A and B are shown apart, each in its own frame.
Chain A
Amino acid sequence: MDKKRLSLTIVTPERTVMADRPVDSVTVPAARGEMGVLPGHASYVVQLREGVLHYREGPRKEFFSVHGGFAEVHKDKVLVLAEAAELAKEVNEERARQSYQKAKENLAVRGAALDLEEATAALRRAAVRLKIAEIRRRHKQ
């Protein structure tokens, strides 16, 4: 008998990153910690934070950075509605490092016009991208 698999769909407002991709397991960055999803998971709706989403497809593991959004699990279908999602290989490490620095400086200065929430969000986004880049490097070696 065919092993049960999940079907993963990731959509962002700007594009459909993947549609109905059969995968073995998915881990999403839920608002209160990572959440792993295997076939046969209960129906679930969860809010996401910035973080690393990864899925396993046989021996292959693929990483994504997602920035906020929602995930819905229903009948072995995983639907991720993210505000932005990038494949690991699309992340530009140099740019991420720069924006990380910039966000840190912004936070350190804390000018009157600074939107604190916005700045911390930028910092988190950059941190996620850096992490993805690191994972990518480790996997290449």
Chain B
Amino acid sequence: MLFNEIYSGYYLATSSILREALKGTLTKKKFADIVNKYAFGESFVTILAGLQGGKWHLLDDDFTPKIENIPVMPLSILQKRWLKSLISDPRIKLFEPDISGLDDVEPLFDKDMIVYYDRYTDGDDYDDENYIAVFRIILRALRERKNLRIIFETRLHEAREINITPHYLEYSEKDDRFRLVGADEKFRWIVNLSRIINCEIINSGQFYELPEGIIDSVTFELIDRWNAMERVLLHFSHLQRETKRLDENKYRVTIYYDHYDETEVLIRILSFGSTIRVMEPESFITRLKERIDRQRELTKA
């Protein structure tokens, strides 16, 4: 049901090509652009043969369409059921979608069927009215590309006000938190939404580009003991990385991470114990050694 040709890139591209043909705006270049956008690297020849070549009887050689109406595809039952499932998600309150039209639809799943067993328990409060209001203002600012004035609580529990250009909202599945990522004239800002006390759109001010984040790397050797290879590589799979096999049970892995996440990465590496041996950088090894040394002393005591 899910893996079905009605959702395929070829159908999507064909639909878009027919739409252009019906409008009379289809050109060879547009044809190629559409295939490139909706289908894949080697799709062009097949779709061209199917459409312009006449195999599919949908388009003439001169791009005259053989259908009469702009192609539409109603939502499938699966799509409606998936949409209905979202209504039980506590985060849906942030978005205000119009849920009419789904009354008679059975959800595909509900929140009680899913357990995020290792998610942190102090995630954002999606029932908090101020939080919801802040979220919606930020969303609007992002859509309309407007600047924001925000007042947030710092780690030292002080209120701080900044004017920033919002660039995107970042959601962490592990933390169950949203963070606003934006920029002012000097800095790249990442602010937890739960710390924002007040927020308003400002209709003036310069649009600040987002400075690049600082990316660090750590290289380690991985011993495949207790299935560590699969566990470690899957655990770090959301990060950019490179892996080489050194011998049957040993691998060299380099992972790239945000500079500000170093402590988190260090803790995550520690969680795999002696199956991982960090090779570089030296500063990272020094931090690891401090912790291991402290533990050795505590264990002795």
Indicate, yes or no, whether A interacts with B.
Answer: no
Q: Give B residues with C-beta under 8 Å from A.
A: none
